[in-house]
Amino acid sequence: MARYETLPVYGKTYDLTIKIYELCSNLSNDLKYSLGESLKRDSLLLLREIYRINRSEDKSKFFERFLDHFELVKLEIRLCFDMKGITNKKHAELSLLMDEIGKQINGWRRKIESNN
């Protein structure tokens, strides 16, 4: 079992979390303390779920939890964009990163499931 910090999906998710924290510090106050706090919390949960997937014998429930939190982060980023909290350029940057994470997590999941 690889250390979770060395997994490519962990690295991309960590980068996403950093970008989300930077984004939230620049949100207007009405978004910062509502949507921004939820976004930061949910991005941290993604990192925790990767740790849990990596250490667990039964990985399937943690993949499901990761994917659930991942969808919430996508939704929250979209809300930030629709409410003019982030620029089109920043939204595109985050969307590309989220696509990479989605591909990596689903690839990892398929690999685990094929080994069982």
**Domain locations in the chain?**
12-111
Whole-number Å distance between alpha carbons of 97 and 95: 5
Pick the CATH number of 12-111 from 3.40.630.30, 1.20.1440.60, 2.40.50.100, 1.10.760.10: 1.20.1440.60
pTM of the model: 0.93
Tell me what percent of the residues of the chain surpass a pLDDT of 90: 88
Q: Which of 72, 68, 77, 66 is nearest to 4 (CA)?
A: 66
- Helix (H) / strand (E) element for 113: namely helix 88-115
Q: What is the pLDDT of residues 48-107, one digit of tens each?
A: 999 999 999 989 999 999 999 999 999 999 999 999 999 999 999 999 999 999 999 999
Task: For tokens 């979390």, name the residue.
Answer: 17
* Residue-level pLDDT at 7: 92
Least Cα distance to 67 among 93, 41, 106 occurs for 106
